C-alpha cells in the first residue's frame, strides 16, 4: 500500500475566508476525484443507501406517528410543544413563561402533561428534550400557520435564553435558520465555529466544540445537502473524537487542512491495522479484510481506537464510508485494479489489487491443490467455524467429513494437503474401529484440541499444532495470530520446528504477564478513566480472560453469577422496607460477544423466543468490541435473548425486576451509590462534566471500575449503560411479556448522563421498542420473582 497525495485544495480557499472573518458563499470543494478517474465516466457503483443520520431533517415514521396520536388525543399539549420547538433544552422556567405569554388561557396542568408526554425523548430535573423529528414537524407547522407569531416567538425565545452559553445559543440559532431555510445564515454560523476552533489554544475547549458539532450538525446537514463548512466541521469533529457514528459520514474523503489539523487534540489511542484482499470464488467478488498488523503487508496507522471509519473507493467506481474493526470483511461490488483508501483525517492510500492477490496466493502455498480440513461428524460445527475464520485470514480450506471405518484421506505431495482436527470426539470415533489407521491419521497436519490422546500405535505426528480451546482461542487475537503463522509455515514448507519434541503449542497462560499487568492497572484505584478505556480495548485485542465476559467451552455465553442473599432491604428514594428471596445476578451486563452468539444461532429467525414480543432486524452496536456491553438493544430483544439462553442452559434465566436490580446494586442499607452514600469521581463511566471530570463519551469494556462495585461485587451498576428491567414503569407489579408498547423500566444511568442519574434509586422509563447506544441489559437467575 502506498500513500497518495491529497487532491483537495478547496478547503484552503475556504480557510482564507473563514480565517479572515468573512461570511460569504463559497464554491463547494471538489469531491475526491484523483487523476486516475475520468470525470466523464459515470460511476458504475452507487453508494449503498444509509439509514437516516438524524431525525431533525428527516423525521422518522415513529416520530410522525407519535405526533399524530398526540394531536388526536391532546391537541393542547401539541400546541405548547410547537412554541418550544426551537430550543434544544426546555427548561422549567422557559416552559412556564412561554405558556403564560402565548397561551394565557391554558391550564397550568398542560405543562406537566407535556413534560411527561410521549413527545419528550429525554427528561431530567433540569428540563426536557423533545424528539428531534417531532420538534422539526411542529416548528414547520407553526411557521406555515402564522409567520408573525413565529417571529414573535423567536424574539421571545432569544430574550429568555440569553443567559445560555455561546455553543448552546448557537444550536438554538441553527434550528431557527434551518426551519426558515436561511442557508447563508447557517453558513455564517458554521464559519464562526470553524474560526473559533482555529484560534482556540485550550484543547478541552476545542474538544467541547467538536462535541457540539457532533450534536448539532445533524440539525443542518445530510450527505446530500451539506454545505462545505458542514463537511469540514464534521471531518474535524469525527477525527478529534475518533467517532464512527452515522453523522460522521457527513465528512468528505479529503485531506484535513493544516489550519485544522494543527488544532486536533492528542488521539485517545493510536492503532495499526492491516488490509488484505482475497477473491471469494463462490460469490465471485473481491473481499477486503481488516487484520492484525502482523498478518499482512499493507499496514495503516490510524489516529484513534477501533472501530475506525475508512472511505473505500475502487478505481472507476463511487466510494463508501465503511466501519472497520479487526475481522471486518467488506465485499467490493465489482472487480477493479486499484482501491483508494482515505482515513477520516484525509490521508489517502492506494492498494494494488493484483499485487495483493499474488502475495496472498504465494503465502498460502496452495496453488497446486486444495486444502482439506478433515473432521468427524461430532466436530462438524467446530470445523465450519474454523474454516470461516481461516477464510478471513486468506487461508481457504474445505471441510471434509471423515467416517471412521473408511480409509482416511492422506496428504499428497502436489494434489492436496490435509489438516486433521484431532479432538476427544475424533479419538473416540477412530479408536472404536478395529482396523489400524494410525499411520494414515498421522499424515498431513494434526490440529489437536485439549490434550487429546493419540491412538495406540500412532506415532506422534511430524506436523502437530496444539490449541487447547479451539473456538474460544480464535477470539484471542494473540493466539489466533500464532495459529495463522504456524499454518502458513506448514503450507509453504518453511516450518522451523526442528526438535521432534518441540511441538508448537498455540496457547498461552490466560493470565500472561502482559494481561496480568493490565488487570493490575484496573484494580489500581488511581488509574484514570481514559487509561481504563485503553486497557479494555487492549484486553479485547489480547483476548479478555476474565470469567463472565466471553463464551464458554460450549460456545455459549459464559455468565459469572453473583449470589444476592435474601432478606430485608431498603427500596426507592423513600427507603421503603422490602424483602427478597435469594437470587443470582450476572456480574456484568451482557457483552457484544455473548449477544452475537444469539444472532448467529438464528435467534432472530426462531419464533420460539419472540412469543408476545415485537421483532425487528438486529442493529449493529456503535462500539462492537467483544468485551463491551451490547447496546442498541430494546426490551423485546433483551427478553428474547434471556429466553434463548434459558433454553440453552436449561435454567430459568430472565431479566431482573427493578426491585431485584436495586437490591443487587445497593445492598440492604439503602446507599445512594453501589460503593456508598457519596458520589466519588472515577468510580463509574458516567458524564462527569458537572463534577469537573472529562467524559469518555462512549461505552467501556465491562468491569473496568471495580472500585465502583456493589456490596455483593456486581460491576457496572452505575453508569456505562442503562439496563432494561423486566417490569412496566407505571405498574411495577406487571412483569409479563406483551406487545402492548407500555413503557418498561431502565436502571443505572450511562456514559451519556451525569452522576445524578447513576443513583441506585433512580428509575427511568422508555417504550420497549427503543434502541440507543447507551442502553443494555444484564441477566438474573431466580428463586421466584421477588422483592415486590
Q: Cβ(133)–Cβ(122) under 8 Å?
A: no
In a domain, 231, yes or no: yes
Q: Can you tell me which residue has the cell 487532491?
A: 7
Report, in angstroms and rounded to the nearest whole number, the Rg of the chain calculated over CA atoms.
Answer: 29
- Is the pLDDT assigned to residue 252 strictly greater than 70? yes
Q: Last residue of some domain: 324, 342, 362?
A: 362
Question: Who has greater pLDDT, 31 or 216?
Answer: 216
**Domain containing residue 68:** 54-163
Which of these three, 314, 330, 362, is where a domain ends?
Answer: 362
* Band of pLDDT at residue 248, cut at 50, 70 and 90: confident
8 A C-beta contact, residue 409 and residue 374: yes
The mean pLDDT value for 679-697 works out to 87
C-alpha cell at 77: 399539549
For the ranges 11-15, 171-175, 199-203, 243-247, the one whose mean pLDDT is highest: 171-175
**Cα dihedral 45, 51, 53, 57 sign:** positive
Q: Is residue 300 part of a domain?
A: yes
Range in 184-198, 233-247, 546-560 with the lowest mean pLDDT:
233-247
pLDDT at 392: 79
pLDDT of residue 47: 30
Q: What is the pLDDT of residue 26?
A: 35
Look at the pTM and tell me if it is higher than 0.75. Answer: no
**Which of 79-83, 129-133, 238-242, 272-276 has the highest mean predicted lDDT (pLDDT)?**
79-83
Is residue 352 included in any domain, yes or no? yes
Q: Check whether residue 358 and residue 375 sit in a common domain.
A: no
Q: Give the CA angle between residues 629, 634, 639 to the nearest 5°.
A: 90
Question: Using one digit for the tens of pLDDT, what is the confidence trace for 114-154?
Answer: 998 989 988 877 889 998 899 999 999 999 999 999 999 99
At 498, the pLDDT band (50, 70, 90 cuts) reads very low
- 752: Cα separation from own chain's centroid: 15
Q: How confident is the model at residue 272 (pLDDT cuts 50, 70, 90)?
A: confident
Beta bridge partners of 275: 290
Residues 670 and 774 in one domain: yes
Residue 48 or residue 580, greater confidence: 580
Higher pLDDT, 61 or 438: 61
Where is average pLDDT lowest: 46-50, 143-147, 372-376, 783-787? 46-50
Q: 403-439 b/e with 16+ CB inside 10 Å = b? A: ebeeebbebeeeebbbbbbbbebbbebbeeeeeebee
Asked if residue 602 belongs to a domain, the reply is yes
What is the structure's pLDDT at 661?
Answer: 96
* 374 in the same domain as 350: no
Q: The domain that contains 721 carries what CATH number? A: 3.90.1580.10
Q: In DSSP terms, which residues pair with 373 in a beta bridge? A: 399, 419
Q: Residue 426 sits in a domain of what CATH number?
A: 3.40.50
Average pLDDT, the chain: 81
Distance, CA of 442 to CA of 451 (rounded, Å): 16
CA distance 45 to 333: 7
Q: What is the pLDDT of residue 294?
A: 59
Determine contact, residues 344/238, Cβ cutoff 8 Å.
yes
Could you tell me if 590 and 630 are in contact, meaning their C-beta atoms sit under 8 angstroms apart?
Answer: yes
How far is Cα 279 from Cα 600, in angstroms, rounded to an integer? Answer: 24
- What's the rounded mean pLDDT across residues 594-623? 93
Residue 563: HSE in the Cβ half-sphere, 13 Å Cα cutoff: 4
State how far the Cα of 349 lies from the Cα of 733, in Å rounded to an integer: 59
pLDDT per residue over 345-396, tens digit each? Answer: 888 888 887 776 655 544 444 444 678 888 888 888 888 888 888 887 878 8
Whole-angstrom Cα distance, residue 426 to residue 444? Answer: 16
Task: Name residues whose C-beta falls within 8 Å of residue 73's C-beta, 6 or more positions apart in sequence.
Answer: none
**How confident is residue 657, by pLDDT bands cut at 50, 70 and 90?**
very high
Whether residue 266 contacts residue 247, with contact meaning beta carbons closer than 8 Å, is answered with no
**Residue with more model confidence, 682 or 14:** 682
State which of 65-79, 301-315, 372-386 shows the largest mean pLDDT.
65-79
Same domain, 112 and 240: no
Task: Examine the domain organization and report whether 684 and 741 are in the same domain.
Answer: yes
More confident residue, 668 or 471: 668
Sign of CA dihedral 30, 31, 37, 43: negative
Specify the number of domains making up the chain.
5
Find which of 55-59, 466-470, 769-773 is predicted with most confidence, using mean pLDDT: 769-773
**Contacts for 9-13: CB closer than 8 Å, 24+ residues apart:** 10/228, 10/254, 11/228, 11/232, 11/254, 11/255, 11/256, 11/257, 12/257
Between these two residues, 262 and 33, which has the higher pLDDT value? 262
In the predicted structure, residue 327 carries a pLDDT above the cut 60? yes
Q: Who has greater pLDDT, 406 or 425?
A: 425
340 part of a folded domain: yes
Residues 381 and 347 in one domain: no
For residue 501, tell me if it sits in a domain: no
Nearest C-alpha neighbor of 743 from the set 123, 215, 127: 123
**CA–CA dist 407, 504 (Å, integer):** 28
Q: 617 in a domain, yes or no?
A: yes
Claim to verify: residue 592 and residue 653 sit in the same structural domain: yes
Q: Return the DSSP state at 419.
A: E
Q: Three-class SS string for 11-52? A: HHHHHHHHHCCCCCCCCCCCCCCCCCCCCCCCCCCCCCCCCC
Q: How confident is the model at residue 701 (pLDDT cuts 50, 70, 90)?
A: very high
End-to-end CA distance of the chain: 62
Q: Are 707 and 683 in contact (CB under 8 A)?
A: yes
| Residues 744-762: tens digit of each pLDDT | 999 999 999 989 899 999 9
Give me the pLDDT at residue 9, please.
45
- Per-residue pLDDT averaged across 674-692, rounded? 88
**Cβ atoms 139, 154 nearer than 8 A:** no
Same-domain check for residues 308 and 334: yes
The Cα–Cα gap between 33 and 40 comes to 11
Q: Which of 219-228, 578-587, 725-734 has the lowest mean pLDDT?
A: 219-228
Domain boundary among 266, 295, 326: 266
One domain, residues 710 and 572: yes
Tens of pLDDT, residues 615-635: 989 999 999 999 999 999 999
Same domain flag for 406 and 443: yes
Mean pLDDT of 207-229: 81
For β-strands 775-776 and 370-375, DSSP reports them as unpaired
Question: In this structure, what are the phi and psi dihedrals at residue 386, rounded to the nearest 5 degrees?
Answer: -65, -40
Same domain, 626 and 693: yes
- Cross-strand partners of 579: 568
What pLDDT score does 48 carry?
A: 29
Neighbouring CB atoms inside 10 A of 772's CB total 19
In a domain, 551, yes or no: no
Together in a domain, 218 and 300: no
Amino acid at each position: 500500500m502506498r500513500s497518495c497525495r491529497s487532491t483537495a485544495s478547496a478547503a484552503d480557499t475556504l480557510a482564507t475566508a473563514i480565517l479572515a472573518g468573512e461570511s460569504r458563499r463559497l464554491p463547494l470543494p471538489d469531491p475526491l476525484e484523483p487523476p486516475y478517474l475520468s470525470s466523464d465516466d459515470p460511476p458504475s457503483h452507487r453508494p449503498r443507501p444509509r439509514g437516516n443520520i438524524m431525525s431533525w431533517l428527516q423525521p422518522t415514521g415513529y416520530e410522525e406517528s407519535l405526533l399524530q396520536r398526540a394531536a388526536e388525543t391532546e391537541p393542547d399539549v401539541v400546541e405548547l410543544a410547537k412554541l418550544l420547538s426551537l430550543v434544544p433544552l426546555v427548561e422549567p422556567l422557559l416552559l412556564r413563561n412561554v405558556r403564560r405569554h402565548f397561551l394565557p388561557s391554558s391550564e397550568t396542568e398542560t405543562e406537566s402533561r407535556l413534560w411527561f408526554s410521549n413527545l419528550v425523548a429525554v427528561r431530567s430535573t433540569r428540563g426536557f428534550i423533545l424528539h428531534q423529528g417531532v420538534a422539526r414537524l411542529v416548528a414547520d407547522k407553526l411557521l406555515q400557520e402564522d409567520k408573525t407569531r413565529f417571529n414573535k416567538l423567536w424574539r421571545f425565545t432569544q430574550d429568555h435564553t440569553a443567559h445560555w452559553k455561546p455553543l448552546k445559543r448557537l444550536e438554538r440559532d441553527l434550528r431557527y435558520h434551518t426551519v426558515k431555510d436561511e442557508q447563508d445564515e447557517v453558513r455564517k454560523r458554521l464559519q464562526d465555529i470553524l474560526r473559533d476552533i482555529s484560534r482556540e489554544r485550550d484543547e478541552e475547549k476545542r474538544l467541547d466544540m467538536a462535541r457540539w458539532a457532533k450534536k448539532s450538525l445533524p440539525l443542518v446537514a445530510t450527505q446530500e445537502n451539506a454545505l462545505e463548512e458542514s463537511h469540514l466541521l464534521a471531518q474535524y469533529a469525527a477525527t478529534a473524537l475518533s467517532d464512527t457514528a452515522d453523522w460522521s459520514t457527513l465528512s468528505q474523503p479529503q485531506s484535513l487542512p493544516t489550519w485544522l489539523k494543527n488544532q486536533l487534540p492528542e488521539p485517545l489511542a493510536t492503532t495499526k491495522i492491516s488490509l488484505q484482499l482475497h477473491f471469494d470464488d463462490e460469490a465471485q467478488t473481491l473481499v477486503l479484510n481488516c487484520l492484525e498488523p502482523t498478518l499482512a503487508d499493507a499496514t495503516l496507522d490510524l489516529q484513534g481506537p477501533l472501530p475506525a471509519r475508512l472511505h473505500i473507493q475502487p478505481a472507476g467506481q463511487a466510494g463508501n464510508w465503511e466501519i472497520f474493526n479487526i475481522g471486518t470483511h467488506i465485499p467490493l461490488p465489482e472487480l477493479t485494479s486499484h482501491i483508494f483508501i482515505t482515513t477520516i483525517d484525509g490521508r489517502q492510500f492506494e492498494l494494488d489489487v493484483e499485487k495483493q492477490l499474488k502475495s496472498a496466493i504465494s503465502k498460502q502455498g496452495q496453488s497446486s491443490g486444495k486444502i482439506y480440513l478433515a473432521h468427524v461428524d461430532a466436530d462438524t460445527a467446530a470445523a465450519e467455524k474454523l474454516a470461516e475464520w481461516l477464510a478471513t485470514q486468506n487461508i481457504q480450506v474445505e471441510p471434509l467429513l471423515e467416517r471412521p471405518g473408511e480409509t482416511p484421506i492422506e496428504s499428497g505431495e502436489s494434489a492436496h494437503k490435509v489438516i486433521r482436527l484431532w479432538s476427544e470426539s475424533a479419538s473416540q470415533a477412530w479408536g472404536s474401529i478395529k482396523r489400524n489407521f494410525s499411520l494414515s491419521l498421522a499424515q498431513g497436519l494434526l490440529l489437536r484440541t485439549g490434550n487429546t490422546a493419540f491412538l495406540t500405535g500412532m506415532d506422534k505426528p511430524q506436523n502437530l499444532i496444539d490449541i487447547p480451546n479451539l473456538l474460544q482461542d480464535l477470539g484471542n487475537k494473540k493466539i489466533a495470530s500464532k495459529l495463522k503463522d504456524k499454518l502458513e509455515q506448514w503450507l509453504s514448507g518453511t516450518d522451523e520446528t526442528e526438535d521432534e519434541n518441540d511441538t508448537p503449542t498455540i496457547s498461552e497462560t490466560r493470565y500472561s504477564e502482559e494481561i496480568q499487568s493490565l488487570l493490575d492497572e484496573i484494580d489500581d484505584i488511581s488509574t484514570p478513566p481514559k487509561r481504563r478505556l485503553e486497557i479494555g480495548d487492549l484486553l479485547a485485542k489480547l483476548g479478555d480472560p476474565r470469567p463472565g465476559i466471553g463464551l464458554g467451552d460450549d460456545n455459549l455465553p459464559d455468565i459469572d453469577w453473583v449470589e444476592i442473599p435474601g432478606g430485608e432491604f431498603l427500596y426507592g428514594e423513600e427507603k421503603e422496607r422490602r424483602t427478597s428471596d435469594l437470587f443470582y445476578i450476572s456480574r456484568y451486563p451482557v457483552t457484544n460477544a455473548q449477544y452475537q452468539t444469539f444472532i448467529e444461532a438464528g435467534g432472530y429467525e426462531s419464533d420460539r423466543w419472540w412469543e408476545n414480543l415485537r421483532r425487528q432486524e438486529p442493529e449493529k452496536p456503535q462500539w462492537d468490541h467483544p468485551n463491551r456491553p451490547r447496546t442498541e438493544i430494546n426490551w423485546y430483544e433483551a427478553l428474547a435473548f434471556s429466553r434463548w439462553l434459558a433454553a440453552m442452559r436449561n435454567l430459568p434465566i430472565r431479566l431482573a425486576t427493578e426491585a431485584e436490580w436495586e437490591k443487587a446494586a445497593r445492598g440492604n442499607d439503602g446507599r445512594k451509590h453501589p460503593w456508598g452514600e457519596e458520589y466519588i469521581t472515577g468510580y463509574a463511566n458516567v458524564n462527569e462534566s458537572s463534577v469537573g471530570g472529562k467524559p469518555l463519551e462512549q461505552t467501556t469494556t465491562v468491569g473496568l471500575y471495580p472500585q465502583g462495585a456493589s456490596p455483593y461485587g456486581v460491576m457496572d451498576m452505575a453508569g456505562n449503560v442503562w439496563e432494561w428491567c423486566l417490569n412496566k414503569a407505571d405498574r411495577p407489579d406487571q412483569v409479563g411479556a406483551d406487545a402492548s408498547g407500555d413503557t418498561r423500566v431502565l436502571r443505572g444511568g450511562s456514559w451519556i448522563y451525569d452522576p445524578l442519574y447513576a443513583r441506585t434509586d433512580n428509575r427511568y422509563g422508555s417504550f420497549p421498542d427503543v434502541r440507543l447506544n447507551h442502553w443494555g441489559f444484564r441477566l438474573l437467575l431466580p428463586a421466584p420473582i421477588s422483592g415486590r
